Structure 1
Amino acid sequence: MSSSLDNARIDQLDKHGFLFGKKLAASMSPLLHSTVYKGLGLDWEQLRLDSDDMDLFLRLIKHPKFYGASVTMPNKVSIIPHLDQLTPECLAIGACNTLFIRHDPSDGRRLFCGANTDVIGVRESFVQNISDPSLYENRPAMVIGGGGAARSAVYALHKFLGATQIYLVNRDKTEVEAVINECLLKGYGDKLVYLESVKQAEGLKEGLGAIVACIPDLEPVTEEEKTVRRIIEVMLSKGRGAMLEMCYNPCPFTALGRLAEKKGWKVILGTEAMVWQGIEQDKYWTGLGGEELPVEEVKKVIGERVRRLAEGN
């Protein structure tokens, strides 16, 4: 981002933001936001910053034309100490995916604020795609993974989606223990249960209503990864519900999604969560309400990209 070409691009725009993280080449985030800005007639752009260099990022956001950033892995947690304010969701989850700007009313200085819109993405993925909420409300749920996205999923299932219990499945026990301890400390961990073994999964009598998968689309290699896959298979066989597959990069059609579909589950693609969390981000950045943003056009553009991926293009 320090090249003269990039600086020239920034100079051409009225405002610019960043997508700050690693492995961004296939991300649809810039496409989503450019669709919003085009629909609003704004000469804005979200630029990819493929980096985990926090010092560089903190210098770049001081630019007077900077409006905000999408923050992705591995920067969602490390950005928090550098922010002036956090929204309640961001504070509770302990991960930030959205940086936005407000101004101090006393002296007008810029305040760099953090939000977590991933939780809105999870919530709206179920609300917008499942016509009968009794499929997942007042039923147990399961979250696969142990990172920032998993924390967002736990929060959404607990606060918005009516989960009676939330099972955590992950290859790394210490990550799960950290999630449970943090959620307990912040007041929403009482429903969490670590689902550690196939035998434990087989012993559960009640099936799941919702699953949120927050792991990369990779074939299991280690024994721990193979155990996770077997636990998932057992839980998918205990009933029918809806599964949100958060992984959409580089492709939203994953092995876990195919497995769930074979078991009769409704599978929600991760691009749905991406759309709804992105719309929430643009509400922060533009100051407009959701009804003022070109939501249908965003859904159309992202849907077309998904269709092309399904066709192998």
Structure 2
Amino acid sequence: MTITPEHLERHGYLFGHPIAHSMSPLLHQTVYDDLGLKWSQVPLDSTDMADFLERIKDPKFYGASVTMPHKVAILKHLDAVTPEGKDVGACNTLFIRTDPETGRRIYTGTNTDVIGIRDAFIQNVSSPSTVYYGRPGLVVGGGGAARSAVYALRKFMQATQIYLVNRDASEVAAVINECQERGFGEGLMHVESVEQAEALEAPGAIVACVPNFPPITVTERQARAVLETFLQKQQKGAILEMCYHPSPWTEIANIAQREGWQIILGTEAMIYQGLEQDKYWTGKALEELPVEKVKAVIAAKLAEQSKPAVNGSNGVKTNGVSGANGVNGSNGVNGTNGH
């Protein structure tokens, strides 16, 4: 039977386009089933904002994951936005607060992407104070995920300064300008050359926010060379590879592992941002949510999608790799730091 809101005690939406490959409904269904809730997140593959705004008036509606192309457009339709949503300038989560005096629903937006990045490091790095606190951070890329990464490094991870590495200088300039305008752009530096990278202190936390493809153009090869220069420095740290589709094991992950870095797979950020959403929607603390069960389900789904397996289950060395499963197997990577 197709799940529709009529069959549920409460329902939410995954609102965006395209969303066919999203694992968000699976993640949240795993949580609701474990908690014994007759809830579901219903995929709404749509660009019709007016239709969505009508749907969320349903008394059974509990909240929504908001993805592209609506993360910015949704803001003007909300009653309130949390500091994270305001600062990043994008909303990926809609939840409901209730006015205690009038009982009126207050449609509220937040950004859990930044929490996903933060918690991917917190949950996988056993000693933040020696690995990345008080050291520079590095962000590879120039899109929305890069902005969230800058915010997480600046607000939560005690980065002293943040290096930006990207093939497109204009994208980096836009990131720097926006972050400065929103109050968290201090100490951002575009690192454009190997010579510049060689003269800088090694970063402790790296967030890679680019698709998994071999560098082809001159600017792509230059950006990769700059990243490799940082990875080759004597002092190592942890790198979060945000790309996880179709496989969470990427060229950058291979290079970083070879150079002795701890690898955190992008599924970790995806999972922890989703669990943060469920904290808003269910009122539960992270400790009350089925974290390990969610990791196992997502790892199994990725293994299913990425057959035949690339890298992972072919015996790739997995020392220091933090995965989404807690066991060896689905992608040939180890679990979350012994959890």
TM-score, normalised with respect to structure 1: 0.90
> Which residues in structure 2 correspond to 1:6-25 (within 5 Å)?
9-25=4-20
Distance in 1 (alpha carbons) for counterparts of 2:170 and 2:70 = 20
Structure-1 residue corresponding to 2:190: 194
Match of 2:30 among 27, 35, 49: 35
| Post-superposition offset of 1:129 | 0.8
Quick check: 37-46 or 258-267, which moved more?
258-267
Structure-2 residue corresponding to 1:104: 99
Percent pairwise identity? 58
| Post-superposition offset of 1:162 | 1.8
Structure-2 residue corresponding to 1:146: 142
Distance in 1 (alpha carbons) for counterparts of 2:220 and 2:58 = 44
Segments of structure 1 that go 5 or more residues without pairing to the other structure are none
Structure-2 residue corresponding to 1:119: 114
CA contact (8 A) 2:99 2:105 kept: yes
Structure-2 residue corresponding to 1:270: 266
| Post-superposition offset of 1:10 | 1.8
Which AA in structure 2 matches 1:213? A
What is the aligned length? 307
CA contact (8 A) 2:116 2:268 kept: yes
| Post-superposition offset of 1:290 | 2.1
- Cα–Cα, structure 1 residues 252 and 160, in superposed 2: closer, same or farther, change >3 Å? same
RMSD between aligned alpha carbons?
2.2
Distance in 1 (alpha carbons) for counterparts of 2:278 and 2:127 = 28
| Post-superposition offset of 1:149 | 1.6
CA contact (8 A) 1:27 1:249 kept: no
TM-score, normalised with respect to structure 2: 0.83
Quick check: 160-169 or 65-74, which moved more?
65-74
Match of 2:284 among 270, 281, 288: 288
Question: In the alignment, is residue 207 of structure 1 matched against residue 202 of structure 2?
Answer: yes
- Cα–Cα, structure 1 residues 230 and 192, in superposed 2: closer, same or farther, change >3 Å? same
| Post-superposition offset of 1:56 | 3.2
Segments of structure 2 that go 5 or more residues without pairing to the other structure are 310-339
> Which residues in structure 2 correspond to 1:56-71 (within 5 Å)?
56-71=51-66
Which AA in structure 1 matches 2:28? H
- Cα–Cα, structure 1 residues 91 and 55, in superposed 2: closer, same or farther, change >3 Å? same
Structure-2 residue corresponding to 1:217: 212
Distance in 1 (alpha carbons) for counterparts of 2:91 and 2:151 = 14
Structure-1 residue corresponding to 2:329: none
Higher helix share: 1
CA contact (8 A) 1:19 1:47 kept: yes
Which AA in structure 2 matches 1:143? V
